[in-house]
Structure 1
Amino acid sequence: MIHHYQSAREPDPYAARFGIAFQPGPQLEVRPGQPGVFVRRPRADQLGNLQSPCDFEAVTGRWGLIPLFSKDGEDPLFEAPAESAAGERNYLQPWKRGHRCVVLADVLFEQGEGASTQRLSRADGKVLAIAGLWNAWRSPQGQCVESFAIFTVSAENGQRHAALLHDAWLEDWLACPVEETAAYLRPYVPASDLLRREVA
């Protein structure tokens, strides 16, 4: 279970990894149901406004993916299991459409053994890149609601952890064919590149 994360507070990771001139606001602790920033390839209906179809954009959406078939936007999905999301009705449409995204976070808080919480960061001090899935849902009133879920993978200890992406994978993750998606959703190795500390 992912309790919350601290969004990336500096513009450098957006510029260096995606070529995006994006200025984050004050560092935010993003919790399920709250707005957060994610990076994606632009929506198909926006491509005509871009210089290149390979461009990326930073978007603010709600953490809690709303399935296309939802009538009221309730019961959002915060975590998508990497092993089964492709076959689950809740995630099927955004998966098939290649609606993948990346959430950049300075720190991630996950459930540890028992009721403990672990603080996760990179040993080199760089931001974490979390694999995600986004969707655009239209409410009965006609409002377009952007939302996202974070992928999780099964760990050797039987728990689930966020699906973290290596820096070299980021553009490929966002642009690869749908059938190659699963190749990027695996436990992060080497584990020594990550710092885990129990905080509660």
Structure 2
Amino acid sequence: MCSHFESVRDRQILKSHFRLDDIPEGGKWDMWPGYLGPFVRRHEFADVGDEAVPEREALLGSFGLVPHWATDTKIARQTYNARTETVASKPSFRDAWKKAHHCIIPADAIYEPDWRSGKAVPTRISRSDGQPMGIAGLWSWWKSPKGEVLHSFTMLTINADQHPLMNQFHKPNDEKRMVVVLPEHRYDDWLNADSQQSADFLHLYPAEALKTDVAPSKIRSLLVD
């Protein structure tokens, strides 16, 4: 499960790769559950027929989905990943799944612990071509008791027991998982898909299209399993 990732740090790359007109100010690039970072969704007014309205928009959201019924934001510590096998039935995610609140989480890299040596070795995983990852997710919004609106998102994960690269991570007896990385040509398809089409996008990303590096020392001291 991915609890730590790098958001896309270069704002120009973020705009060009994800075809965004504007990007929100603020947020973090070194992301952990509860931190605010950018996510991409279909523009709220994309259906009004105004050519001036872009197809996509980027918003700041909490990493960890906060459903509308939550009493506070602490739930984000448990909802940063959504298992695709149970996302339609889990109370935290089922509303966003049913409404097809699809989003894309821009990432330069994700971090996972490699246990093959017998102890956790924090590892940075990125695309081998140097391009950002577009991770499939779900978004939601939550209104605080003071009336403030918070957007949030979660990453969708699938079983990776048979994936040649991602089956190296986490403890030996743990199920292997990986986030759903979308190919660029399917970004709009994902953002526009309805709930009946959602399952069509839940595929393992090719191992040869990913690369790994030992995490920098300052990251290794923070990464948790």
Question: Under a length normalisation based on structure 1, what TM-score does the superposition of the two structures give?
Answer: 0.87
Structure 1 position 117, deviation (Å): 2.3
In structure 2, what is the equivalent of residue 183 of structure 1?
200
Within a 5 Å distance, the mapping from 1:56-75 to structure 2 comes to 56-75=56-75
> Is the Cα–Cα contact under 8 Å of residues 8 and 24 in structure 1 kept in the other structure?
no
Structure 1 position 167, deviation (Å): 1.0
Within a 5 Å distance, the mapping from 1:1-200 to structure 2 comes to 1-10=1-10, 11-22=12-23, 28-43=29-44, 51=51, 55-76=55-76, 77-113=79-115, 115-156=120-161, 157=167, 158-189=175-206, 191-199=207-215
**Which has more strand, going by share of residues?**
1
> Is the Cα–Cα contact under 8 Å of residues 9 and 25 in structure 1 kept in the other structure?
no
For 1:197, the aligned partner's letter is D
For 1:36, the aligned partner's letter is G
Structure 1 position 181, deviation (Å): 0.7
Tell which deviates more after alignment, 99-108 or 15-24.
15-24
1:96-138 deviation digits (Å, cap 9, x = unpaired): 1111111111121123335332210111111111111110111
Q: 1:146 to 1:26 in 2, by over 3 A?
A: closer
2: CA distance, partners of 1:82 / 1:14: 28
> Is the Cα–Cα contact under 8 Å of residues 7 and 109 in structure 2 kept in the other structure?
yes
2: CA distance, partners of 1:50 / 1:60: 24
SS of residue in 2 equivalent to 1:80: strand
> Is the Cα–Cα contact under 8 Å of residues 17 and 132 in structure 2 kept in the other structure?
no
For 1:68, the aligned partner's letter is H
1: CA distance, partners of 2:52 / 2:97: 23
RMSD: 2.5
> Is the Cα–Cα contact under 8 Å of residues 3 and 111 in structure 1 kept in the other structure?
no
Q: Based on CA coordinates, which of the two structures has the bigger radius of gyration?
A: 2
Structure 1 position 43, deviation (Å): 3.3
Tell which deviates more after alignment, 70-79 or 170-179.
70-79
> Is the Cα–Cα contact under 8 Å of residues 23 and 59 in structure 2 kept in the other structure?
no
Question: Under a length normalisation based on structure 2, what TM-score does the superposition of the two structures give?
Answer: 0.78
2: CA distance, partners of 1:172 / 1:119: 28
For 2:111, the aligned partner's letter is F
Structure 1 position 25, deviation (Å): 6.5
Structure 1 position 49, deviation (Å): 10
> Is the Cα–Cα contact under 8 Å of residues 18 and 171 in structure 1 kept in the other structure?
no
Runs of 4+ aligned structure 1 residues displaced above 6 Å come to: 23-27
